[in-house]
Every structure is written in C-alpha cells, then in structure tokens.
Structure 1
Amino acid sequence: MSQLKHPAHTQLEQLDGFSVVIDEARERADIVLSRPPFNIISMPQREQLRLVFESLDENPAVRVIVLRAHGEHFSSGGDIRGFLDATPEHVSKLAWNIAAPSRCTKPVIAANRGYCFGVGFEISLACDFRIVSETSQYALPEQKLGQIPGSGGSARLQKMVGVTRTKDVVMRSRRIPGHQAYDWGIATMCVSDSELEAATDELVDELRKFSPLAQRTAKKLLNDTEDSTLSIAIELEGHCYSRLRSSDDFREGVEAFHAKRPAKFMGS
C-alpha cells in the first residue's frame, strides 16, 4: 500500500474486503474484491473504494484501472445488516462513493463473473467498460428487501437501456444473464468464463496504446454531455477537439501516422 497516496491515507492502511495490486511495468492497477465466496461489500469498504480510486487517479504510474474479484462471483451485493446500522449521513454518501470509477479520469474496466448484484452491479455500471463472462448475472434485487437501489443503479441502468427494461429489472428484481447484458448494451463484451482474464488483459494493453490526454478528454466529454442537448454536446466536443490540437500527443500522433510507425504518447 506504500504506492497509494491520499490525504486520507490512514483509512487505507487496512483495506476492508479488497486489495490493490499495482503493476508499474504494465501501467496497471487492479482493485480486487477479496471476501469470498460472495465478496459482500461492507459499508466501510465503500468509502475505502472511493479513496483508492482517487489515489490511483493521482498515481502517474497507473494508466488503466481494473476492478475484479477473487472466486466465481464478482459480488452478491452489500452487507444488508449494515444498512440498518448505518447513520442517515453515511447512507447519503453511498451513491457518491460508488460513483468513484466514473469520476476517475483514467479508463476503468470491470471484469464480472457470476453474481453481480446490488452494489456490485452499481459500481460496475460506474466503470467505463464491463467485460462479462457467460456465468455473469446482473441484478438489482432491492425490491425483495422493501427497498430500491441506492447507489445510482437504477439511474445509470435507465440511461443505458431505457425506462421499460429498467422497470422490468428493478421492479421485478429480475436477473440479466451475461449474453443478454451484452445484447442490451450494458456489457462491452461477453466471453467464456475461462477467457475473462485474457480479455481483460487485452483491453488493458489496447487502452495503454492511446494518448492518456486524449482518453481523459474523451471520458470527461462523454460523461459531461450525457444529459446535454445535441447542440451543446457538439459545441463542447468542438472545444475539446480544439484544445487537443495544440497537444504534444496530437503532433506525435500525426507524425507517427505519416511515418507509418507506432506513436509514443507522453500525455501532454
């Protein structure tokens, strides 16, 4: 954990239910849920996950972040008893903590297999890419507890698949198999269970080849314009494009293209 830097570092000294692995040679950080068999996410763990994402976002050795889990299930959801014991102030922060992957300026990949329920699904929805295995099952089962999703799940899902499908999933606590998640546009790709790690590795290496500056710009632009009108989105896209034209990475990309060689992007 010595590689993680954050003002709230004392909260990161003993991680609750997960670990962090940084591979500087591959410019990659893995956040690994490690409370098998179902990797239940505790209340304190949610705050720590946010702090870790913020720390990794500041780490210049990391280009891509992977959120994955030990075992056959990504996560069956949160600690149910914890909801009854938590203060209203703590509960009000749930969505903010789980949205950390979306706020992170770097690409974030969720590698999902098996159960991916409740907060496990919600934090995966906040990532940029979701690779699912054929064993994956997404669900927001809070109706069975007399509740609704509280960490952005129904809102993010509705943006992706529309109100009709979201009502079907949320109001019936219905599970979405991996192949269906891909067909609906929730998952980036669906692979066999044995290929999940290899597919994740390939996507990490692919993303590392692009300009980190252009990737940060693209992610922020797409996030910021999700709720905007078409005319505003086009206007903001133009401003971002204009700023990138003066970057070292754009010049390198153009020169590499004409020289027919791989570009060496520096992120400036």
Structure 2
Amino acid sequence: MTELRFITTSIQKEIGIVELNRPKQYNSLNRQMVREIVEALEAFERDENVRVMIISGRGKAFSSGADINEMASDDSIRLELLNQFADWDRVALLKKPIIGAVHGYVFGGGFELALSCDVLIAAEGTEFCFPEVNLGVMPGAGGTQRLTKLVGRTKALEWIWSAKCIPVNEALQYGVVNRVVQPELLLEEALKFADTISKKPPLAIRLIKESVTKAVDYSLYEGMQYERKNFYLLFSSEDQKEGMKAFVEKRTPQFKGR
C-alpha cells in the first residue's frame, strides 16, 4: 500500500477503521486520497483478523466532496484516460461489511463514498447533498445510481437537480441512513454495531451481503436462486456445524470463518 498522506487506519478488536484525514479541507477527496481509502479497505479485506470495516472522517465533516481544484482544468479526454472511477469501483467488490460513520457535511463525492457503505450511522446535524449541478456537472462515482436505488427515481431527481441539502432526519426517512445518534456517540455506536457483526459467522455475513446486493438488481426469481445457492454453500462450512452444534448444546458458538 502507498504511504498514507490523507487517511489514517487502525484496528480495534476485529474492526478495521479508515479515517479521512484532511480536516482543514473538510476531507475533500482528491484522487490520491480515494486510492488510499480503497487500498486500505482492500488490505483489511485480506486481513483474516479483520471482520468488519468502518469509514469515518476527522474534523467537522465526513467529506465535503471532490477536490475541485484538482479537476477544474480537466477535459473529457484526460478524464477518460485517467479512468479515476476505476478505483471507486473496487469498493463494490469488497465482501466484508462496511459501516459508514458520518457527520457534518456529506457532500458530492463524500455522499457517494457514504452510499458505497453497507450501513450508515449518522450524527445529528449531518447534511447530505449532491451539489455537482451547481458546477455544471453531475455525480460520477455512482451517485445517480445508488441514490436512485435507495430512494426512487423521482426523489433522486429532486435532490440531485436541486442540489438541496438533505437533513439527516429526511435521509433517515428515505432509508439513506440506518440510525441517527448524538455526535459524541457516533464512533462509539459504529464500533458497537461493528462489534456485534464481528461476532457472527464471517462466511454467512459475506454471503448475506452478496445476496442482499444482488436483490437490488435481480428479478425475484433470479435473486432467490442466488440466495439458495449461498444457503446451500454455507452447509459446507465449519461455522455451520459449530453454530448448529452450539445451539443444540445450549452454548455460545465460536465462529472461525471457515
């Protein structure tokens, strides 16, 4: 992994934490920073001691969006050759759970990063926004797609066209976030939820994530076939044997991810 300039990483118990670390710039995302985020997540994905990942932001904001100074002079050909969104696409390939702990501004690319998480816990006072239309452009790292799948076509158009700031309680109402907590409890609550997930059988957690993700795009029949395949597959795992044996013996199971 490249030397970290714009993020910090740490591991608590079985939880890998990525913290955006450009607080003076409200964690605006430049290309190097995105690469660092992705590579850190991929390193946690390979680490057998990490079962859940958290993304958070240092300072007053989760992320104010893309670093406009970096892209203001770009043109279409340069962007095509850079293919910068290939890094973003790698996040969707991660199989371990990703929890976003967001606060303050969650704007533009920061909103897209948050939407790439599996679960979002937000602090009171958090605001979400896609301001790109005010700059003559549009979301480009999945914002139009992921938001639409969450809130529906008409609401996504309203939010993205108007570039309105979406209060956290409205985001909660439309299923963008899972839970709203006091700001001082944000990381604590994210760690608590991550700890709960980390105690579950890792293979089942991974295949549940796969199956639920497929449900967004597949027909009901196709999704059920995919779910059934994963259900059967888990019966080849040691964790399934341990889980059912522990249930019969009325004890706490010891899952090993095998």
TM-score of the superposition, structure 2-length normalised?
A: 0.94
Alignment-derived partner of residue 232 in structure 1: 222
1:207 Cα offset (Å):
0.5
SS at match of 1:226: helix
1:17 to 2:6 alignment: yes
Alignment-derived partner of residue 3 in structure 1: none
1:220 to 2:207 alignment: no
Summarize the alignment of residues 160-171 of structure 1 with structure 2, pairs less than 5 Å apart: 160-171=150-161
Alignment-derived partner of residue 203 in structure 1: 193
The CA RMSD measured in Å over matched residues stands at 1.4
1:100 Cα offset (Å):
3.5
SS at match of 2:54: strand
1:204 Cα offset (Å):
1.1
1:93 to 2:56 alignment: no
220, 243, 250: which one aligns with 2:233: 243
Alignment-derived partner of residue 38 in structure 2: 50
Aligned residue identity for 2:244: V
Alignment-derived partner of residue 31 in structure 1: 18
Q: Which runs of 5+ in 2 are unaligned?
A: none
Q: Which runs of 5+ in 1 are unaligned?
A: 1-8
In 1, Cα distance between equivalents of 2:44 and 2:73 = 30
1:77–1:117 CA contact under 8 A, matched in 2: yes
1:70 to 2:70 alignment: no
TM-score of the superposition, structure 1-length normalised?
A: 0.90
Summarize the alignment of residues 58-207 of structure 1 with structure 2, pairs less than 5 Å apart: 58-86=46-74, 87-89=78-80, 92-94=83-85, 96-207=86-197
1:101–1:108 CA contact under 8 A, matched in 2: no
Alignment-derived partner of residue 263 in structure 1: 253
2:203–2:257 CA contact under 8 A, matched in 1: yes
Aligned residue identity for 2:6: G
Deviates further, 100-109 or 60-69: 100-109
Percent sequence identity over matched residues? 31
Aligned residue identity for 1:155: Q
SS at match of 1:19: strand
SS at match of 2:216: coil
In 1, Cα distance between equivalents of 2:174 and 2:183 = 20
1:251 Cα offset (Å):
1.1
1:111 Cα offset (Å):
0.3
1:99–1:126 CA contact under 8 A, matched in 2: no
1:74 Cα offset (Å):
0.6
Show CA shifts across 1:178-237 (max 9, x none): 111111111011112122122111101100111001011111222234211100101111
SS at match of 2:137: coil
In 2, Cα distance between equivalents of 1:98 and 1:90 = 15
1:27–1:64 CA contact under 8 A, matched in 2: yes
1:85 Cα offset (Å):
4.3
Poorly superposed stretches of 4+, deviation over 6 Å:
none
1:134–1:177 CA contact under 8 A, matched in 2: no
SS at match of 2:43: helix
2:38–2:90 CA contact under 8 A, matched in 1: yes
1:175 Cα offset (Å):
1.3
In 2, Cα distance between equivalents of 1:53 and 1:185 = 24
In 1, Cα distance between equivalents of 2:20 and 2:208 = 28
2:31–2:84 CA contact under 8 A, matched in 1: no
1:101–1:123 CA contact under 8 A, matched in 2: no
